[in-house]
A and B are shown apart, each in its own frame.
Chain A
Amino acid sequence: MTEPAMQLIGLKKQIGSKLIVKGLDFDIQPGEVFGFLGPNGAGKTTTIRMMVGLIRISEGDVRIQGKSIKTDYKEAIRHVGAIVENPELYGFMSGYKNLLVFSRMIPGISKERIDEVVELVGLEQRIHQKVKRYSLGMRQRLGIAQALLHNPSILILDEPTNGLDPSGIREIRQYIRRLAEQENVAVIVSSHLLSEMELMCDRIGILKNGELISIQQIQNTEEETPAEVVQIDCPAEHHEKAQRLLQEEFGIIAMASGEKLTFPITRAEIPSIIKALAVADIELYGIAVERKTLEDKFLHVIGENVIE
């Protein structure tokens, strides 16, 4: 096992008497796209700000390539490129001048590297225009360009597709995947667009009230979890019998509403349940299988969107 790109060790943030982040422990591996998901006020931004040293850590630590952000800030932060919240750059300067200013803060960035990054994010045509004339999408691209200037091994992007048009979103998504797969960069993205996260991330950590309540592996979802919701259509007088059967034979609680019964099962169980229902002479008029999306899972895991 290689060294994790980033480690969070019992990370806590307390403001006044209130714990905003209640002890996060997890690793992010090189070449992995890690998604940070959570409702507003869950502590996403606070956590990201602690990762880059903008906010003091109350307890615990963040290690970047084994270097503590608390005690070895300079060595730790040089591996990180980030956009925290919106890509806010100097509007009165050209895109190129913005990159030039940031490049001077880290030794060893050549003019060629700046040109390379500009080409990478596709801003060649407009790079010498003032940033205040940029659209949000162009700012987002410039933001990513400044984050990539120093070839970081960890890229932190807050809402990276915010304000981009669909083709821009696809481009950024492909670009993030390419960085992770080919250059072994660990990418941490936060987003509230769940479908977006599903397409982009390898793992998604769900944060609620300052706690990490679940880490979902994206590729494995189909096998692992009881992701299916089955709805059968049968006359109401058969409902009681069907519910009893499901409960006794399969341990499933089915909900009745109108003519329909709804219950969650795994994909593998579907044929045997249909058979059992048919054998028991329950009249089936239809059966519908819904795949649970990440969104359902997300809402399932975090419960109602309550900010405490």
Chain B
Amino acid sequence: MSNFFQLVRNEQTKLYSQLATWIMLGILIVVVLGFAILMRTADGFVSDYDDATWKQQLQEENESLAEFDPADSNILINNYRIENDLKPEGMTAWEFLYQGNYMTSVLSLLTIIVAGGIIANEYRWGTIKLLLIRPATRTKIFFAKYASVLLFALTALIVLFIFSWLFGMLFFGLGGDGSMLQVKDGEVVEISVWTRIAQDYGLQLVKLVVWATFAFMISAALRNGALAIGTAIFLMFAGTTVIPFIYDKPFAKYVLFSNLDLTQFTTGMKLIDDLTLTFAVVTIIVYYIIFLVVGWVLFVKRDVAGH
């Protein structure tokens, strides 16, 4: 096991010795900063509530919301605020952090780039020949590299959190403890910071892990980083667009894209009617295992021949 830990440590050393890795993390920070500036300067994103008139403001909001959808849960929340004398905080560092869950697509992109390169690059550099003639089995090296990809995703996620919160503080102020109101079964309840982060980010991270694993499989199996990164990014962004064409076919619900967006179960806007959360989770796990096993078998079995 200490052997495995050393292998992961090696992968991290190699990863962070490359300028490209730091540039990627830099890009992530710049995107967060850009998002913060955009929200601060663009009209309509940030509503400030006056101490004297906030109740009136919320009433007006409710009226305009009701015009589109009388069942909008925000109406319930606004009413709850007026009744309980809870002034909304407007845009805060916490709020900015939550909004940042869309930033996970940037995170996915970066993770796919790392996953697609981590094995293929060793072949491109020729270093695979030195890596595979050590007393560590190919299986161990394969999983050490995979663990390293996940570790990178986690690191980038932490960077995203820290800078989202930091820029949020800078541009919008801290404000409150980060808890928020949400409608659950027709009741307005208060939920804590961590529940909310898990909820907002968690579902996005499922996609990230699946597509990173897919890129990793292609990287291990075909030893071509560009192909791995290209196909994974393409499928991630374009995959769901095939659903409208196949949704009425019997096989549609077994397609990965139909299941991957788990937010369809929290919003109730299901892509295919007879999907259930359990079915989707099981399907995702099956695909995930297939990706890993295919990558692993090909990495272990294939000869390392000349260029």
What A residues does B132 contact at CB under 8 A?
Answer: 53-54
Do the beta carbons of B3 and A53 come within 8 Å of each other?
no
Q: Does A91 contact B (CB under 8 A)?
A: yes
With A88-B127, A97-B13, A102-B130 known, 15 other A-B pairs at CB within 8 A are A49-B305, A52-B133, A54-B304, A55-B304, A55-B305, A56-B303, A78-B135, A84-B133, A86-B126, A88-B125, A90-B125, A93-B13, A100-B13, A104-B7, A105-B6
Q: List 17 A-B contacts (CB under 8 A).
A: A45-B306, A46-B305, A54-B132, A55-B305, A73-B135, A73-B137, A74-B136, A82-B133, A86-B126, A88-B127, A88-B129, A90-B14, A90-B125, A92-B19, A93-B14, A101-B13, A102-B130
Q: Does A191 contact B (CB under 8 A)?
A: no
Q: Which residues of A contact B (CB under 8 A)?
A: 45-46, 49, 52-56, 73-75, 77-78, 80, 82-86, 88-93, 97, 100-102, 104-107, 146
Do the beta carbons of B133 and A89 come within 8 Å of each other?
no
A85 touches which of B17, B19, B306 (Cβ 8 Å) = B306
Do the beta carbons of A54 and B135 come within 8 Å of each other?
no
Q: Does B199 contact A (CB under 8 A)?
A: no
In this complex, what residue of B is CB-closest to A45? B306
The interface bits of chain B over 12-37 (1 if a CB of A lies within 8 angstroms of the residue's CB, else 0) are: 01100111000000000000000000
Q: Does B9 contact A (CB under 8 A)?
A: yes
Q: How far is the CA of A56 from the CA of B132 in the complex (A)?
A: 13
Q: Which residues of B contact A (CB under 8 A)?
A: 3, 6-7, 9-10, 13-14, 17-19, 125-127, 129-137, 301, 303-306
In this complex, what residue of A is CB-closest to B132? A54
Q: How far is the CA of A90 from the CA of B15 in the complex (A)?
A: 11
In this complex, what residue of A is CB-closest to B307? A85
In this complex, what residue of B is CB-closest to A78? B135
What B residues does A83 contact at CB under 8 A?
Answer: 130
B10 touches which of A54, A84, A89, A104 (Cβ 8 Å) = A104
**Closest-CB distance, B24 to chain A (whole angstroms):** 14
Do the beta carbons of A105 and B134 come within 8 Å of each other?
yes
Do the beta carbons of A93 and B17 come within 8 Å of each other?
yes
Q: How far is the CA of A4 from the CA of B231 in the complex (A)?
A: 50
What A residues does B135 contact at CB under 8 A?
Answer: 73-75, 77-78, 105-106
Q: Which of A56, A86, A97, A104 has the most CB of B within 10 A?
A: A104
A88 touches which of B7, B130, B303, B304 (Cβ 8 Å) = B130
**Closest-CB distance, B163 to chain A (whole angstroms):** 25
What A residues does B133 contact at CB under 8 A?
Answer: 52-54, 77, 80, 82, 84
Q: How far is the CA of A85 from the CA of B6 in the complex (A)?
A: 26
**Closest-CB distance, A119 to chain B (whole angstroms):** 21
A54 touching B303 in the complex, CB below 8 Å, given contacts A84-B133, A91-B125, A104-B9:
yes
Q: Which of B3, B7, B10, B17 has the most CB of A within 10 A?
A: B17
**Closest-CB distance, B100 to chain A (whole angstroms):** 31
Do the beta carbons of A90 and B17 come within 8 Å of each other?
yes
**Closest-CB distance, B144 to chain A (whole angstroms):** 10
What A residues does B18 contact at CB under 8 A?
Answer: 92
Do the beta carbons of B130 and A89 come within 8 Å of each other?
yes
Do the beta carbons of B134 and A106 come within 8 Å of each other?
yes
What A residues does B130 contact at CB under 8 A?
Answer: 83-84, 88-89, 102, 146
Do the beta carbons of B306 and A105 come within 8 Å of each other?
no
Per CB-CB distance, the 10 closest pairs between chain A and chain B, nearest first, are A88-B126, A54-B304, A105-B134, A55-B303, A104-B6, A78-B135, A84-B129, A52-B133, A74-B135, A93-B17
What B residues does A74 contact at CB under 8 A?
Answer: 135-137
Q: How far is the CA of A82 from the CA of B135 in the complex (A)?
A: 13
Q: How far is the CA of A61 from the CA of B157 in the complex (A)?
A: 48
What B residues does A80 contact at CB under 8 A?
Answer: 133
**Closest-CB distance, A116 to chain B (whole angstroms):** 19
What A residues does B305 contact at CB under 8 A?
Answer: 46, 49, 54-55
A54 touching B17 in the complex, CB below 8 Å, given contacts A45-B306, A104-B6, A105-B7:
no
Q: How far is the CA of A90 from the CA of B129 in the complex (A)?
A: 12
What B residues does A106 contact at CB under 8 A?
Answer: 134-135
What B residues does A97 contact at CB under 8 A?
Answer: 13, 17
Do the beta carbons of B126 and A90 come within 8 Å of each other?
no
**Closest-CB distance, B2 to chain A (whole angstroms):** 8
What B residues does A77 contact at CB under 8 A?
Answer: 133-135
Q: How far is the CA of A192 from the CA of B127 in the complex (A)?
A: 23
A90 touches which of B7, B127, B301, B304 (Cβ 8 Å) = B127
What B residues does A107 contact at CB under 8 A?
Answer: 3
